[in-house]
């Protein structure tokens, strides 16, 4: 591969990366828009995990302000 081919390959790869990044940004923005719309509708699940107290809550730094108890969920080790 000569210098011009190498330069073209780098340009193509860079352009491809830019396009992929732009597509990823679009996908992420759509996901964020969906989450924001759901939150506005009052759909803000604390956690969808089974046994979340053991998997997540006991490690969370926001236990003191969390509304999980208001939702009727039991948290151990607070």
How does pLDDT run across 23-62, given as a tens digit for each residue? Answer: 999 999 999 999 899 888 887 776 677 777 777 777 778 7
Q: Is 63 helix (H, G, I), strand (E, B) or coil?
A: coil
Main-chain phi, psi angles of 40, to 5 degrees? -60, -30
User: pTM for the whole thing?
Assistant: 0.48
Q: Domain spans of the chain?
A: 3-44, 46-78
CA–CA gap between residue 3 and residue 11 (Å, rounded)? 12
pLDDT at 31 (0 to 100)? 95
pLDDT at 28 (0 to 100)? 97
């Amino acid at each position: 591969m000569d210098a011009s081919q190498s330069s073209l390959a780098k340009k193509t790869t860079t352009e491809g990366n830019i396009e992929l990044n732009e597509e990823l940004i679009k996908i992420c923005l759509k996901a964020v828009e969906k989450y924001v719309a759901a939150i506005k509708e009052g759909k803000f699940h604390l956690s969808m995990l089974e046994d979340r107290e053991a998997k997540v809550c006991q490690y969370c730094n926001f236990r003191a302000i969390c509304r999980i108890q208001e939702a009727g969920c039991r948290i151990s080790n607070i």
